């Protein structure tokens, strides 16, 4: 199939180009970062398009892998070039501002798929990897079409509101926490802390430094484009302030009650009992890979 990847020079864009090429598709790349796109094309055997319009005009399936805040603009810009009966697949990590545009394309006879790969661009084999599928208009046909593009992956069907709320908790909140942690630790002598830190610190440092190696514009979009983020950040800061008050007031009884309440809420997680063991396994994996 003739497919194009708009945003093919980005990290997930490059992953898509490699993935689709490996699937046997004839891939064309379009990206404003022309030099980087050319490098990806040369490495994969993909073709280069002079513009998004040209790429979409010739494609049987158009994949959109652009920044969160850019994706709606790109979809609207190329909508006149997308032919009836062809497919559009977008992979943004936020959906509420995109689904209405996909619905408009669907009304014009375009098959639309909204997916969110729940993994990073370092994944080599998607077998058993999870991909969220957010239904646009026809969940059954969209599921089948997604299976053809991402064979072997586990497709998790989720409503758009539920998806974006989950992203506020699984992306925005952890990123926020780790950026704040890094801002404090970064002002200290990290090498000394690494020598003295235990398991919890070691894993937290790995997470924080991993977050700080990513594209800051992407992380800014994840924080600011999700309408549910501020709500959960307020809730987090409120609970953090309450816990701080227990510590500052040396109120061990309230601290222990807070801890017990949180622990009780986590018992809903079937894997909670093995958490300590998994924490050490994760640390050993980090040591092995370093």
DSSP conformational letter for 83: P
Over range 97-114, report the average pLDDT: 97
Q: Closest by alpha carbon to 30, among 1, 12, 54?
A: 54
Over range 91-119, report the average pLDDT: 96
Over range 194-210, report the average pLDDT: 94
Residue 47's CB is within 10 A of a number of other CB atoms, namely: 15
* CA–CA dist 277, 263 (Å, integer): 16
pLDDT, position 128:
84
Which residue segments constitute the domains of the chain, with CATH numbers given?
A: 2-158 (3.40.50.720), 162-289 (1.10.3660)
> How remote is the C-alpha of 113 from its chain's centroid?
16
Is the per-residue pLDDT at 68 higher than 60? yes
Altogether, the residues listed in the chain come to a count of 290
Torsion, Cα 270 273 279 284, to 10 degrees, reads -100
Is the per-residue pLDDT at 187 higher than 70? yes
Please give the residue that has the higher pLDDT: either 280 or 289: 280
Is the per-residue pLDDT at 288 higher than 80? no
Percentage with pLDDT > 90 across the chain: 90
- The predicted-structure confidence for 236-259, as pLDDT tens digits, reads as follows 999 999 999 999 999 999 999 999
Over range 261-282, report the average pLDDT: 90
Q: What is the mean pLDDT of the chain?
A: 95
Q: Closest by alpha carbon to 99, among 139, 59, 147, 58?
A: 139
pLDDT, position 289:
62
């Amino acid at each position: 199939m003739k497919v194009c990847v708009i945003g093919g020079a980005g990290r997930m864009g490059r992953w898509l180009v490699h993935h689709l090429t490996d699937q046997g598709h004839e891939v064309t790349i379009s990206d404003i970062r022309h030099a980087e796109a050319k490098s990806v094309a040369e490495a994969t055997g993909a073709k280069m398009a002079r513009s998004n319009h040209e790429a979409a005009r010739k494609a049987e399936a158009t994949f959109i892998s652009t920044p969160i805040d850019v994706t709606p603009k790109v979809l609207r810009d190329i909508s006149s070039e997308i032919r009836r009966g062809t497919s559009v697949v977008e992979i943004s990590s936020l959906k509420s501002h995109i689904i209405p545009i996909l619905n408009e394309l669907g009304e014009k006879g375009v098959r639309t798929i909204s997916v969110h790969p729940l993994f990073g661009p370092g994944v080599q084999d998607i077998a058993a990897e999870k991909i969220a599928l957010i239904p646009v208009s026809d969940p059954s046909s969209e599921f089948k079409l997604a299976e053809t593009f991402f064979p072997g992956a586990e497709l998790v069907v989720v409503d758009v509101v539920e998806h974006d709320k989950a992203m506020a908790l699984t992306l925005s909140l952890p990123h926020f926490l780790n950026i704040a942690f890094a801002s404090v630790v970064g002002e200290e002598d990290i090498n000394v802390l690494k020598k003295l830190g235990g398991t919890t610190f070691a894993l937290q440092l790995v997470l924080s430094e991993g977050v700080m190696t990513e594209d800051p514009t992407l992380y800014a979009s994840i924080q600011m484009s999700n309408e549910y983020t501020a709500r959960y950040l307020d809730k987090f800061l409120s609970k953090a302030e309450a816990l701080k008050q227990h510590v500052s007031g040396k109120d061990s009884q309230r601290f222990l009650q807070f801890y017990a309440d949180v622990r009780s809420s986590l018992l809903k997680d079937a894997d909670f009992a093995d958490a300590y063991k998994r924490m050490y396994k994760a640390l050993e994996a980090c040591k092995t890979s370093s």
